[in-house]
Amino acid sequence: MLQGYGPLIASGTWMTLQLALLALAAALLLGLLGASARLSASRLLQTLAAGYTTLIRSVPDLVTMLLLFYSLQIALNHLTEWAGAGQIDIDPFVAGVVTLGIIYGAYFTETFRGAFQAVPRGQLEAAVAYGMTPWQVFRRVLFPQMMRFALPGIGNNWQVMIKATALVSIIGLSDVVKATQDAGKGSLQLFFFSLVAAAIYLAITTVSTLLLAWLGRHYAAGVRKAEL
Amino acid sequence: MNEIIAIVQEYGQAYLWSDGYRLSGLAMTLWLLLLSIVIGFVMSVPLAVARVSSNRLISGPVWLYTYVFRGTPLYIQLLIIYSGIYSLEAVRAQPLLDAFFREGFNCTLLAFALNTCAYTTEVFAGMIRETPHGEIEAARAYGMSRFTLYRRIILPSALRRALPSYSNEVILMLHSTSIAFTATVPDLLKVARDVNSATYASFEAFGLAAVLYASVVFALVWLFRRCERRWLAFLQPRAH
């Protein structure tokens, strides 16, 4: 049915999944750091984090992606020239992970900020009173409870980010979009192979929805719901 | 800094409204946004009413439509409509379809309108479902027909309550218009890409586009806040 293009499309899909998962990890980390900065006592950190989320969220993903991709390359060229080394070309995969991570880190910052604030202060104070270190407070008290509030937002951001990975083919990554377009041009069946790409994305978003519903039940354990 | 000034002097007009012989840049982006938002809105209101129907035969197809269009990237939808459909012999054989799908602008508009309509339908359907049941029961007790009930009670209130989520969708749609250049539409990002390849001043070329996009977002946020103040006044906490 795929006329011998199966392996190409499979490796493209694997590339897209790797990109999405690595970018998710980067964005979650940046989001946690950003939210901590926004809620910190330091004015400077607050302002920096607020500027980061406002700027990134008001500019389209694709524009930020191209801006970072080309500017990082030029900055790197200056650096290698200054160091007297040969030119290093930025790999589209690395560029995709970095740019998607930076962009969605801003969205996760806002998600985590709200979730951090939803955990009752008394719990954190009690943990400190027990003599826990800041890291222990985060890992044992703040994080498990915060996740319940953050999960709907994380799920939304993830679904948007999965769909944004399709744009990374524009900066030259051999992902599922590139693979299906190549297959379509090679077999002169562009319509069919574009539908294949859509079906693969639909499968990924469907599986994500099911996984997120399961995670939601996991983190809501022990929460009593009122019967309406 | 000198490069920014040089770019503004040479390409400022292309960035804002015209590349010399056609609409380009910001004006093209806003025109695409306006058309797709209006078409999407007009289609989404009846679809949202169908989406909340208790008849599966009516709500099912709408569910499938929003599920597919919200579950796949807009870029792939555009690829299917722009290069996919036009590669079909049957489409090129029909003069009318051929003329429509040959134009990148038409394909882009079709993809954008279908995409934003799917998201907007779900926003409106969610708000229709959350209409307080007392309002609906009172309207029925007055003897309103289903059509009158929707026209006088449900839609005016649901569309107002949808305003905050709807404004998000409009801003996301503005962001999405940046992929129009892949279908050769001379929008803001297309101009920035052309300037980038002509001058190699990447940061300045894309940075200028980023500033313009961000200004539109801030203007939209301001506009919607005004609309909310006016049309959502009945939901404000009242001072006694």
Residues of chain B found within 8 Å of residue A164, distances taken between Cβ atoms:
73
Banded model confidence at residue A181, pLDDT cuts 50, 70, 90:
confident
Provide the ipTM.
0.85
Largest CA distance in chain B: 71
- pLDDT of A228 higher than 60: no
Asked whether residue A225 is domain-assigned, the answer is: no
Q: Is the pLDDT of residue B239 over 70?
A: no
Strand partners, B25: B187
- pLDDT tens for residues B21-43? 788 888 899 999 999 999 999 99
The shortest C-alpha distance from B230 to chain A (Å) reads: 24
* Cβ–Cβ under 8 Å, residues B222 and A58: no
B114-133 mean pLDDT:
91
Reported as a single tens digit per residue, the pLDDT across B214-236 is: 999 999 999 998 988 888 887 77
In angstroms, how far is CA A24 from the centroid of its own chain?
3
Nearest to B206 among A67, A170, A198 (CB): A67
Which segment of A35-39, A53-57, B5-9, B184-188 scores lowest on mean pLDDT? B5-9
pLDDT score of A225: 64
Chain A positions in Cβ-Cβ contact with residue B213 (cut-off 8 Å): 58-60, 63
What are φ and ψ of residue B228, in 5° steps?
-65, -40
Over the stretch B144-186, which tens digit does the pLDDT of each residue have? 998 999 999 999 989 988 888 899 899 999 999 999 998 888 8
Give the A:B interface size as CB pairs under 8 Å.
106
Number of other CB atoms surrounding residue B159 within 10 Å:
18
- Residue B133: is its pLDDT beyond 80? yes
CATH number at residue A214: 1.10.3720.10
H or E element that contains B109: helix B104-129
Contact between A115 and A143 under an 8 Å Cβ cutoff? The reply is no
The answer to whether the Cβ–Cβ distance between B73 and A164 falls below 8 Å is yes
Residue A176: name the closest of A134, A204, A217 by CA.
A204
The three-state secondary structure class of B223 is helix
- The whole-chain average pLDDT of chain A stands at 87
CA distance B222 to chain A (A): 13
Domain count, chain A: 1
User: Residue A81 is part of which domain span?
Assistant: 6-219
**Radius of gyration, CA atoms only, chain A:** 21
- A50: in domain: yes
How do residues A80-138 score in pLDDT, each as one tens digit? 888 877 777 888 888 889 889 999 999 999 889 888 888 888 988 999 999 999 889 88
Task: Inform me whether the C-beta atom of residue A167 falls under 8 Å from chain B C-beta atoms.
Answer: yes
Asked if A201 has any chain B CB less than 8 Å from its own CB, the reply is yes
- CB < 8 Å to B133, chain A: none
CB B116 within 8 A of CB B37: yes
The answer to whether residue A205 is domain-embedded is yes
A51 in any annotated domain: yes
Residue B136: exposure state from Cβ atoms within 10 A (0-12, 13-18, ≥19):
middle
A39-77 pLDDT, tens digit per residue, is: 888 899 999 999 999 888 899 989 988 888 888 888 888
Give the residue from chain B lying closest to A208, CA to CA.
Answer: B71
Closest partner CB to A166 (pick from B73, B83, B210): B73
Is A86 part of a structural domain of the chain?
yes
A224 in a structural domain: no
Q: State the residue for tokens 């969220």.
A: A57
For residue A108, the tally of other CB atoms under 10 A from its CB is 28
Helices (H), chain A: 6-38, 43-58, 61-83, 92-118, 121-129, 134-136, 143-164, 176-187, 190-219
CATH superfamily of B2-235: MetI-like (1.10.3720.10)
The domain limits of chain B are 2-235
Rg (CA), chain B: 22
Has residue A23 been placed in a domain?
A: yes
Residue A228 maps to a domain: no
Q: Which amino acid is at A132?
A: M
For residue B71, what is the nearest residue in chain A, using CA coordinates?
A: A202
